[in-house]
Structure 1
């Protein structure tokens, strides 16, 4: 007696190639993402009326609640931070067109007199535009 062989099922599709593509995309996005450096200290920006997105720039200066200045993670002292900012701007102006805005992240607890005293010093460094970061009400 002859029996016919039962029909064979196709083997299931392998998902390994799809997993490989997903991991390659993950690695691509992780390596091309721009990771922002951490802020040197916590800053609570003052509250203002919403007028758009927060400013972004090449140069970001931090002013803490105690009145300390910081630039690129260095919180040395007013004169040292301003000197580092001036050197960074000079290096930037040697390569790019030289009219970058300065993003100023000041804590809301800082007195206005401290902020007003810094503005002429920043103008003397050549920053024609200073953008103060605020949060919406």
Structure 2
């Protein structure tokens, strides 16, 4: 009986998809729509309150221009993957506006912005 329990434990540990940790903490902006609480796609770009991008690739976390280079490499490896942008609510809008053309140049036609539900 104990063998079966250990086999099941090993099976669930091997088949579980463990998400990599975020490169830094992000507080998403609030949204008043039913689409709030978005689910993340396979590629997730983080933007901290100072406007620094971060990306976690299989090689490890990267920040700044290295994060965008790692994202471009991940995009080349997975051209059909969608991008989710987890921007901090305090991130400057100017930085976000400057980031979008760079993401378009990488080949992302759509960027999903992760939000949280607004509290009344």
The TM-score with structure 1 as length reference comes to 0.74
**C-alpha separation between the residues in 1 aligned to 2:73 and 2:29?**
29
The alignment status of 1:88 with 2:71, answered yes or no, reads no
Could you list the per-position Cα deviations for residues 8-59 of structure 1 after superposition, in whole angstroms to 9, with x for gaps in the alignment?
A: xxxxxxxxx2x33222212211121011111110011111123265232221
Contact kept, 8 Å, 1:99 with 1:128, in 2: the verdict is: no
Could you list the per-position Cα deviations for residues 107-126 of structure 1 after superposition, in whole angstroms to 9, with x for gaps in the alignment?
A: 01112221111111111111
Structure having the higher strand fraction is 2
Q: Extract unaligned runs of 5+ from structure 1.
A: 1-16, 93-97
Could you say what the CA RMSD is over the residues aligned between the two structures, in angstroms?
Answer: 1.6
Of the structure 1 ranges 29-38 and 80-89, higher mean CA displacement relative to structure 2 is found in 80-89
Rg larger in structure: 1
The alignment status of 1:24 with 2:7, answered yes or no, reads yes
* Counterpart selection for 1:124 from 85, 105, 117: 105
The TM-score with structure 2 as length reference comes to 0.84
Q: Extract unaligned runs of 5+ from structure 2.
A: none
Contact kept, 8 Å, 2:37 with 2:117, in 1: the verdict is: no
**C-alpha separation between the residues in 2 aligned to 1:124 and 1:90?**
12
